[in-house]
Amino acid sequence: MAIQTLAGSRRDFFKLSGTIGLAAGLAATLAACGGGDSKKTGAAAGGTDGAKATKSDGAIVAGISYELGTNGYDPMTTTAALTVAANWHTMEGLTELHPKTRECYAALGKDKPTKVDDTTYEVTLRDGAKFSDGTDVTVDDVVFSFERVLDPANKSLYSQFISFLDKVEKKDDKTVTIKTKFPYSLVAERISVVKIVPKALVEKDAKAFDLMPVGTGPYKMTDNGAGSQNVVFERNDNYNGPQPALVKTMTWQVLPDDTTRTNAMTSGSVQAIDAVPVANLSSIAKDPVKVAAESGFSLLFAMFNHQTFSDPKVRQAVMYALDYDKICQNGMGTLAVPAKSFVHEKHPAYKDAKVVYTYDVEKAKSLLAEAGVTEINLLCSNHGWFAQVRPIIKENLAALGVTVNYEEKKSADVYSFVDGNEGKWDVVVAPGDPSVFGNDADLLMRWWYSGDAWTDQRMHWKGSESYTKVQSMLDEAVRLEGDAQIAKWQEIFDFLSEELPLYPIFHRKTPTAYDSSKLVDFQPIALTGLSFVGVGSQA
């Protein structure tokens, strides 16, 4: 699972669990099941289906495949899958990206940023905007929210997404001025990563806010799940934005066990579940329960230690050694597509990369021999959904005639091992999905290829000639627009396919099950997590 792979203790607030099996005839099943059938009245607004009436006092109950951890929801720091998904419902930025369409729309801002000149934008706050505790949202809250993310002392991983900002300052009681360091083409999309928080509450007790945040979203959290194993939300009656809550209450049951979660879906005790086990996809898809597997950026990657595998030939050898058809068909039960580029085939910037890796054992052996490598230290995270993939990768590498030292650890332990230099490793195989933060190619690449947590602390790639070139190319691309920008991103994809600091093995389909007779306008998403933005219920 994607964002479980991130730095800091918050990465394991909820840990992905469950073992994925294999299902015969899965491709045909998914083709028959498809996605939601409701009509939308607006791409970003996510309107309601006129044929179905949602109950204003209704309830949504969902089953989530994550165990409860120990850390919180503060949008400045949390990067774990469930907490990010929770914040989609309780928090807002000045702009937001719709979880399904990924379209950018004005959220806490009355409109999307207005361009004053090449490096100046203005955003006016939504009239009457309040936090869920009833206090007014002020421009000071907005400035504070940006400054805390940008402050290096706070070590927010979101800061790398807004490094183009020079400053955010108050213009008047309703308007903020956004100054960029240079002309930047993605201002509206990118400022969505900063959620606006109440300055007074955070400064009064940051820890309490972390555990039970107060935001401006359509829902407010009433139980963070720490004691109940249920994350509970209620409609935020102070909300007056474009995505009002369509039900009175929402409960996310923490159900990490595959069988328990699947039984909850088939018995009708929940209306939707994420991470449907492959073995259950055929059996669970019985009307009114629908199953969808949405293709998106979510991926399994190979990360390389550039202190030990400094020669790109070694990294290329590992990629050529993998049997992608067996990994995706047998190991993932067709819920994966071999990577042909850094982004998936449905991404707006997609094209086949200069090097598309295929299963070529002889080429892999030749490259390893040229580099003089006879041993590979392989470290994998133990996420259940790719449990069947790990032995295939191990077998593929062993077939090269080298010694493979294999270790498997929990996600948190993988990164504490790597970050703390606790032992030998050459290759880490783990999942990732920064698309929960945004969909533009610049953001997706900067997550792994710019921030020190990955490039320096983990890959030990920072400072190399290829690292410096990627930074230069990324900085050039964000100053461009349209086709020229896409062409530059594709040039970076080509370069990454040869250098391989970290690279996708496959892009994953996200399997979701939902009760179409109870949920109104539910849309399965390709992101990690569940979204009930614009969703009603007849229950």
Would you place residue 27 in the very low, low, confident or very high pLDDT band (cuts 50, 70, 90)? very low
494, 510 in Cβ contact below 8 A? no
Range with the lowest mean pLDDT among 30-39, 418-427, 523-532?
A: 30-39
SS3 for 405?
strand
**Other Cβ atoms closer than 10 A to 227:** 8
Would you place residue 38 in the very low, low, confident or very high pLDDT band (cuts 50, 70, 90)? very low
- Rg of the chain over Cα atoms, rounded to whole angstroms, equals 23
pLDDT score, position 71: 67
Main-chain phi, psi angles of 3, to 5 degrees = -75, 5
74 sits in the region (left: phi over 0; alpha: psi -120 to 50; else beta) called beta
Q: What is the DSSP string of 149-200?
A: HH-GGG--GGGGGGTTEEEEEESSSSEEEEEESS--TTHHHHGGGS----HH
42 has pLDDT over 70: no
The percent of residues above 70 in pLDDT, for the chain, comes to: 90
Q: In what order do the strands lie in the sheet with 165-170?
A: 114-117, 120-124, 175-180, 165-170
Structural domains of the chain, with CATH: 55-90+217-288+516-538 (3.40.190.10), 92-202 (3.90.76.10), 297-508 (3.10.105.10)
Range with the lowest mean pLDDT among 30-44, 268-282, 487-501?
A: 30-44
pLDDT digits (tens, 9 = 90+) for 486-517: 999 999 999 999 999 999 999 999 999 999 99
pLDDT score, position 22: 32
Give me 41's structure tokens.
Answer: 């009245």
Is omega for the bond preceding 288 within 30 degrees of 0, making it cis? Answer: yes
The CA-based diameter of the chain, rounded to the nearest angstrom, is 68
Q: What is the DSSP string of 191-210?
A: GGGS----HHHHHH-HHHHH
The contacts of residue 465 (CB under 8 Å, 6+ apart) are: none
455 vs 44, higher pLDDT: 455
Amino acid at 449: Y
166, 118 in Cβ contact below 8 A? no
Range with the lowest mean pLDDT among 20-29, 88-97, 305-314?
A: 20-29
pLDDT score, position 281: 87
pTM of the model: 0.85
**Other Cβ atoms closer than 10 A to 365:** 17
Give me 360's structure tokens.
Answer: 């070529």
Would you place residue 13 in the very low, low, confident or very high pLDDT band (cuts 50, 70, 90)? very low
pLDDT digits (tens, 9 = 90+) for 387-406: 999 999 999 999 999 999 99
Q: Span 355-378, mean pLDDT?
A: 97
The contacts of residue 163 (CB under 8 Å, 6+ apart) are: none
Q: Span 442-453, mean pLDDT?
A: 94
Q: How far is CA 165 from the centre of its chain?
A: 23
Give me 316's structure tokens.
Answer: 């290329």
6 vs 170, higher pLDDT: 170
pLDDT score, position 44: 38
pLDDT score, position 61: 98
Range with the lowest mean pLDDT among 64-73, 81-90, 179-188?
A: 64-73
Instruction: Report the alpha-carbon distance of residue 47 to residue 42 in Å, rounded.
Output: 6
Main-chain phi, psi angles of 479, to 5 degrees = -85, -10
Give me 327's structure tokens.
Answer: 């990994």
Range with the lowest mean pLDDT among 66-70, 280-284, 388-392, 533-537?
A: 66-70
pLDDT score, position 277: 87
Instruction: Report the alpha-carbon distance of residue 152 to residue 205 in Å, rounded.
Output: 20
pLDDT score, position 40: 35
pLDDT score, position 15: 33
Mean pLDDT score of the chain: 90
pLDDT score, position 384: 81
Element (DSSP H or E) covering residue 297:
strand 289-304
**Other Cβ atoms closer than 10 A to 166:** 13
45 has pLDDT over 60: no
Q: Span 16-26, mean pLDDT?
A: 32
SS3 for 91?
coil
Closest CA to 356 of 346, 345, 372, 369: 345
Q: Span 258-281, mean pLDDT?
A: 93
pLDDT score, position 31: 32
Q: Span 374-396, mean pLDDT?
A: 95
